[in-house]
Structure 1
Amino acid sequence: MSRTVTKDSIPVPVPAAVPSRLTGRSLPRWAPAGFAAAGIALGCGLGAAAGWHSKIQWALLSALFFMVISYAATSAVENRRQARDKLATSIVWVCFVLAVVPLFSLIWVTVSRGAKVLDGYFLTHSMAGVPGFETGGGVYHALVGTLQQVGLAALISVPVGLLTAIYLVEYGRGALAKAVTFFVDVMTGIPSIVAGLFLLSIMLMFELQPSGLMGALALAILMLPVVVRSTEEMLKLVPNELREASLALGVPKWRTILKVVVPTALGGITTGVMLAVARIAGETAPIMLLVFGSQLINTNPFEGAQSSLPFYIWEQYRVGSEASYDRAWAAALVLIAFVMLLNLVARGIARWKAPKTGR
């Protein structure tokens, strides 16, 4: 309770003392790092003493010790409420590490094994005239095929997906919009082999020859629902006040969408498109069915068989020689670099086109 004192006959309130429970003890900032070090030491030590040879077992045991030590120390020094909070935080960190470690392991193995043959010669030569079990050859024909097939798929699916999303957000009402939304959700989870079989049946019906275009059509089917869904979500984030302000000035709705809504959401739309491109860049099944692969450089995607990076990786791994394994890992590194470059471009465009905010 507070009390009062007088100063020149005027009562002045004096705040009561702060309860001791608000000024209790707390762990130092370096405590989580110390708990992690202790958990790793105990987990590795116990795993080695028990004769476990799997590093995964050591890691799981270390994570368990880390959470137990964190909870026990926080309960003893602070209180049980803070201990539960630290336990939840520890679980989040452990799950994060469990998710990141395989990713870094994959990148490390791909870089270490793919860098053996990845050079200028590998990027500028094809496998024409090079037996699969011998050294030499390159990935140029597969890189050209991937760029053309993915480019054609994006050229087909992006306009259709963008216009479909605009319809669903700005105009879609009733049974038709619900049906379109339902089929977009269904297509999002469709296996790539199904898209390949669908185009293969069309090829057999009309006696068409394998080409990069047929593979691009299958990739466009896989890319379309991702573009529609991502664009739809970005358009929904545009504030309605912007639409209402434009309409209040007498601007037609189509022009409002073109000049206000789409430019506002352009950064997010571009990110969604790049993610969709990255998703189809690694597809192999449609290419195997519709493009057939080739050892030669074919720069015409509308005629003749082509190759692609995923197909090239599968093809080289199937040979089974040491040289083919090195080429497969190098092609995998090129594919990862291609996808990473697309994501960096998407982030740059999203930041460039993000709405400017004032102070």
Structure 2
Amino acid sequence: MSTLTNVDESSLPATRVDDNFGGKSGARAFKDQLARGLMWAAFIVALIPLIWILGATLVKGGQTVLDPSWWTNSQAGITSRREGGGAVHAIQGTLIQAGVTALISVPIGVLTAIYLVEYGRGRLARTVSFMVDILTGIPSIVAALFIYALWVVTFGFQRVGFAVCLALTMLMIPTVVRSTEEMLKLVPNELREASYALGVPKWKTIMKIVIPTSFSGIVTGVLLGLARVMGETAPLIILGPYTAVIATNLFDGLMPTLPSMIFQTYGESLPAAVNRTWGAALTLILLVFLLNIAGRFIGRFSKVRN
């Protein structure tokens, strides 16, 4: 048997635990601070143009937007040299087109994402994913020209607001698909497996477990898509020319929107028209902001609670 020897612990060299496990060397601490500083610098650089754009729009368009007639009147009978008039016609047109575009894009985008995440396997899934990637990179003017060739040249229809919605749908679908796809992937597989273990069919698991769990993220993706298409101008110029009067019929005549109003009034280069341009720009920013607030509200109160 070996003999145990008592050793005086005080004679052993002192070793700090953090030297081997928790401590930071000088180089690591420097790299950490450097990365932190670069992150904040990048954040500030990205924030500067945003603040500048918002500030300039508020200063130059705030007075126009604060006029009550801006929200109640159209530009009917208002010349480029005359102050006054409102943007109610353009606001209505923007909301109508955005709503119809969302009605078409959201079901297609969400169902496509569900297929890719929950069912998609093999060549068909790869083809669908590849086509979504192609749509993501298509410029808005290309989508507008495609719908123009199909709607006007091939079928012989007139340039109307619904044709604009079709072009905007091509731009919104890939955003909804990719954002929804990422949110569905974040749902833990344990939730699906627990549901399957209880004998719940796959389609009901998707409807009752997967979608409600990721609903707030899906709403955010939809709002990102809406924010993109609401500011597009090329499809409006090519497929839906501007009019200064109220027009809400997507299948008859011209269709006013805020982007087309900005494009039309800014080209006139007169003080009254420029003021209306900044007012329309600020109105569009406010609409997108309200949409995001509504989306956050819906997402917060629709989360699955334990």
TM-score, structure 1 as length reference:
0.77
Change (3 A) 1:319 1:171: same
Checking the alignment, whether the CA contact within 8 Å between 2:231 and 2:259 is kept in structure 1 is: yes
Unaligned runs of 5+ in 1: 6-12, 22-77
Paired with 1:218 and 1:149, the residues of 2 have a C-alpha distance of 11
- The structure whose Rg is larger is 1
Change (3 A) 1:18 1:155: closer
SS in 1 for 2:40: helix
1:152-175 CA distances to partner (integer Å, 9 max, x unpaired)?
Answer: 000001011111111111111111
Paired with 1:14 and 1:350, the residues of 2 have a C-alpha distance of 60
CA displacement at 1:3 relative to structure 2: 5.3
1:308 to 241, 257, 261: 257
2:245 aligned residue? 296
CA displacement at 1:93 relative to structure 2: 1.9
1:198 aligned residue? 146
Paired with 1:247 and 1:343, the residues of 2 have a C-alpha distance of 35
1:130 aligned residue? 78
Change (3 A) 1:17 1:209: closer
SS in 2 for 1:117: helix
SS in 1 for 2:267: helix
SS in 1 for 2:35: helix
SS in 2 for 1:299: coil
1:352 to 269, 285, 301: 301
1:48 aligned residue? none
Unaligned runs of 5+ in 2: 1-6, 20-24
Change (3 A) 1:244 1:81: closer
Change (3 A) 1:248 1:90: closer
Q: Are residues 1:82 and 2:26 paired?
A: no
CA displacement at 1:353 relative to structure 2: 2.6
2:272 aligned residue? 323
Say which structure, 1 or 2, has more relative contact order (CA 8 Å, 6+ apart). 2
1:317-337 CA distances to partner (integer Å, 9 max, x unpaired)?
Answer: 001100111100011000011
2:95 aligned residue? 147
CA displacement at 1:182 relative to structure 2: 0.3
Checking the alignment, whether the CA contact within 8 Å between 2:73 and 2:85 is kept in structure 1 is: yes
2:284 to 335, 339, 343: 335
Paired with 2:34 and 2:122, the residues of 1 have a C-alpha distance of 48
Checking the alignment, whether the CA contact within 8 Å between 2:89 and 2:245 is kept in structure 1 is: yes
2:104 aligned residue? 156
1:272 to 221, 230, 254: 221
Checking the alignment, whether the CA contact within 8 Å between 1:196 and 1:286 is kept in structure 2 is: yes
SS in 2 for 1:208: coil
Checking the alignment, whether the CA contact within 8 Å between 2:212 and 2:304 is kept in structure 1 is: no
CA displacement at 1:309 relative to structure 2: 0.6
Change (3 A) 1:133 1:173: same
CA displacement at 1:237 relative to structure 2: 1.2
State the identity as a percent: 49
Paired with 2:85 and 2:129, the residues of 1 have a C-alpha distance of 47
2:41 aligned residue? 94
2:119 aligned residue? 171
Checking the alignment, whether the CA contact within 8 Å between 1:148 and 1:212 is kept in structure 2 is: no
Considering only aligned residues, what root-mean-square deviation do their CA atoms show, in Å?
Answer: 2.2
Change (3 A) 1:248 1:18: closer
Paired with 2:248 and 2:242, the residues of 1 have a C-alpha distance of 13
1:110-147 CA distances to partner (integer Å, 9 max, x unpaired)?
Answer: 00000121121012111111112221111111111100
Q: Are residues 1:106 and 2:33 paired?
A: no
CA displacement at 1:248 relative to structure 2: 1.9
Paired with 2:70 and 2:272, the residues of 1 have a C-alpha distance of 12
